[in-house]
Amino acid sequence: MCITFVLAGLLVCHPIRARHVYYLHSSRAGLREKKHEKGEIAIWRKRVNKEYCSERESRATMCDSTNPDDAWYKKMEVCVTPYPATNGPDAVAGGELKPFLDRLNSVPPRIANGSVPGVFVDSFHDDNKLWKKHLNAYKRVNKIIDTGRYRNIMDMNARLGSFVAAIESPKLWVMNVMPTIAERDTLGVIYERGLIGIYHDWYEGLSTYPRTYDLTMFISGWELAL
């Protein structure tokens, strides 16, 4: 999976002040390639697999954990998560992603290769169909849900992100929240669908102001928040 990293601000103009920041550490080690820089904005892209940076990999400090998703309440380290294994020199580590919007409803690589326990290709398609059915029911009660009246929506228990995929509207954006104590960690699936999301423990306060969101929703699993 190719990941693009964007940094904006003074760290771009003054890299010496940011020599301990991860993006510099990984780019100097050859694990990220700078694609563009203008003013205070710089864009790096992660290389497609280990083969593209094997010559310089010895310069990078590799993380002990091989699970990049295990990040909640973990001490930050200046290290790089090892690339997933690939079958060839040109294969994309983690699986190749389709362009957006196609990948919104395509099977994410994590599900296709069985990396998410209990979630399969058929259950992914079933979840998409179910949320389209739910959304049609919501529209009968709330006719303005996808008209642009609600610009910022929060899904408090996003699971596979199928609610957002069902809306598929350029008039709004949805913050997908993956509860840290949920049965399955599917935030990576949400990212692979081209969506945004965060981890959060609903026993704690959210870091953003509640009025940031015009509408919040939570379906099933109230034990995650109560």
Q: Which of 66, 96, 126 is the last residue of a domain?
A: 96
The pLDDT of residue 20 is: 45
Bigger pLDDT: 84 vs 163: 163
Q: Is the per-residue pLDDT at 17 higher than 70?
A: no
Q: Which of 48, 69, 96 is the last residue of a domain?
A: 96
Bigger pLDDT: 43 vs 191: 191
- Average pLDDT along the chain: 80
Bigger pLDDT: 89 vs 69: 69
- pTM tops 0.75, yes or no: yes
- In terms of domains, do 115 and 217 share one? yes
Phi-psi domain of 175 (left: phi exceeds 0; alpha: psi -120 through 50; beta: other): beta
The HSE-up count of residue 50 (CA atoms within 13 Å, CB side) is 14
Number of structural domains found in the chain: 2
Mean pLDDT calculated for residue range 194-222: 83
- In terms of domains, do 219 and 113 share one? yes
Bigger pLDDT: 8 vs 162: 162
Mean pLDDT calculated for residue range 117-140: 94
- In terms of domains, do 18 and 113 share one? no
The pLDDT of residue 170 is: 86
Q: Is the per-residue pLDDT at 153 higher than 70?
A: yes
Q: Is the per-residue pLDDT at 44 higher than 60?
A: yes
pLDDT band at residue 67 under the 50/70/90 scheme: confident
pLDDT band at residue 187 under the 50/70/90 scheme: very high
Q: Which of 71, 96, 121 is the last residue of a domain?
A: 96
- In terms of domains, do 206 and 123 share one? yes
The pLDDT of residue 81 is: 79
Least confident of 19-28, 46-55, 83-92, 108-117: 19-28
- In terms of domains, do 175 and 132 share one? yes
- DSSP codes joined into one string, 86-155: -SSTTSPTT-PPPPTTHHHHSPPHHHHTT-STT--HHHHHHHHHHHHHHHHHHHHH-TTTTTTS--EEEE
Q: Is the per-residue pLDDT at 52 higher than 70?
A: no
- In terms of domains, do 41 and 119 share one? no
- In terms of domains, do 193 and 164 share one? yes
- In terms of domains, do 121 and 216 share one? yes
- What is the CATH classification number for the domain harbouring 116? 3.40.50
The pLDDT of residue 137 is: 93
Domain that holds residue 207: 102-224
- In terms of domains, do 133 and 82 share one? no
Residue % of the chain over a pLDDT of 90:
35
- In terms of domains, do 72 and 163 share one? no
Q: Is the per-residue pLDDT at 96 higher than 70?
A: yes
- In terms of domains, do 34 and 143 share one? no
- In terms of domains, do 38 and 133 share one? no
Instruction: Kindly list the distances between the CA atom of residue 86 and the CA atoms of 11, 121, 139, 222, in Å, as whole numbers in the listed order.
Output: 34, 21, 44, 39
Instruction: Kindly list the distances between the CA atom of residue 204 and the CA atoms of 124, 152, 208, 224, 226, in Å, as whole numbers in the listed order.
Output: 30, 21, 12, 11, 10
